[in-house]
Structure 1
């Protein structure tokens, strides 16, 4: 196979959850650039979405939402690529005592169980076809939890990391590769909005506000967060034939936030 061919996904079908904005949208665009026929799922389709015929409005944190997505994408046969980007946190600040039952259930549903259920629905066909690539987007909070408001999110992402590794070991002998991508901060529109809010609320410049965020993480040696496109490039590599022997790995993309040796 040619070098260029190993970078291509021509003729392959893909699904990206949480693909309407931020890193998810960048992953969708990257996989389409690589030649894949990409389905996208999110709770709401953005105005002017370029491929409404390939967009599924569904909440994959629920059983019904997963069933909706699985039924739509399965009509044309097994997927070749499955990327779970959907995730987030809505727990209020205040530490562990502020996280009630409803917050824990919501975070587990969104950040762990949605991926588990969708894998359970879609991977049997991939295994039956004897090929495929799956990526779970986890978080550096799986190993570096921030306790004030995102402890349930961090715990769910840590569980997703462990689940991803175990699943990889099970399905690799049958031709399906599973890996994880663990981002730190990402320069999304939401992040930029938070920087503006922090700057206005504390009479800081945007650079000072960003430094405040970096300091809260113990520093970011690179001096910036990853862009959505950089996360998408990593995902694109992992689902391509260039990564054909990479199984059960977790790739950290955080600018050096988590100290490693």
Structure 2
């Protein structure tokens, strides 16, 4: 399989750390001009990526990003909506305030809706485009004491993605979802450390708790590059008949086929 994205412009939101960084690097390695966004530019950001500072929680951010991309490159071929986070405390429904719910839905759902709305008209005009929305296995297998509002927002993202795929498929635009399980990223490690602090246990014990809750037959976290490899395939011409599908990359954690 020879994947080439030469001449294509790709946006990766949240593209400076973890899964997003791995995706940006992979797409760049196979020829794409990659634009990445994050709230803060990292000191080690490579010059091969065009960086846009953006807080996607702010409604105006999507239009600012779209304007800069289209003015600089004149097109957008690939959107990877990777930015997202579990921002709320554990403990179930009684621990979650309106602000917790609002924040999780802003970053994990509404930010994606806004980015797609701002850039889809360009894709429709050029009659070509691929959108990958990064979700989570927790949207299908929520852990009530850890991910209630986050899982709910991502579940909405899954349904939205299927609806969008149905709408824009006739316009030669494909929309798919990639749902990672437990991935070894800075955010995941912070999440585990927070669990350790709140439960007054060690980081190793907190890690075991998470892995036991999720139940991963392969017995380990995924590396970010393992998610990036699938994304690179899905945005390429090798996957040109694939749309409206949700791919689990979770080491076998999802207990259904």
TM-score by length of 2: 0.93
Cα distance, 1:226 vs. partner? 1.2
Task: Find the residue that maps to 2:60 and give its secondary structure.
Answer: helix
**1:71-150 mapped onto 2 (5 Å cutoff):** 71-75=67-71, 76-150=73-147
Task: Find the residue that maps to 2:80 and give its secondary structure.
Answer: strand
2:177 counterpart (159, 175, 180): 180
Matched, 1:30 2:26: yes
Deviations 1:88-145 (A, max 9, x none): 0211222112211111111111000000011001011101100111100011111111
2:158 counterpart (155, 161, 167): 161
1:146 and 1:131 mapped to 2: Cα distance? Answer: 38
Q: Aligned-pair RMSD on alpha carbons?
A: 2.0
Distance 1:102 1:212, change over 3 A: closer
Check whether the contact 1:130–1:174 (CA below 8 A) recurs between aligned residues. Answer: yes
Instruction: Tell me the matched-pair count.
Output: 254
Query: Which runs of 5 or more residues in structure 1 are unaligned?
Result: none
Matched, 1:239 2:238: no
1:121 and 1:16 mapped to 2: Cα distance? Answer: 15
TM-score by length of 1: 0.91
1:125 and 1:158 mapped to 2: Cα distance? Answer: 27
1:240 and 1:52 mapped to 2: Cα distance? Answer: 20
Check whether the contact 1:81–1:239 (CA below 8 A) recurs between aligned residues. Answer: yes
Check whether the contact 1:182–1:251 (CA below 8 A) recurs between aligned residues. Answer: yes
User: Equivalent residue for 1:202?
Assistant: 201
Cα distance, 1:8 vs. partner? 0.4
Distance 1:62 1:194, change over 3 A: closer
Matched, 1:67 2:66: no
User: Equivalent residue for 1:58?
Assistant: 54
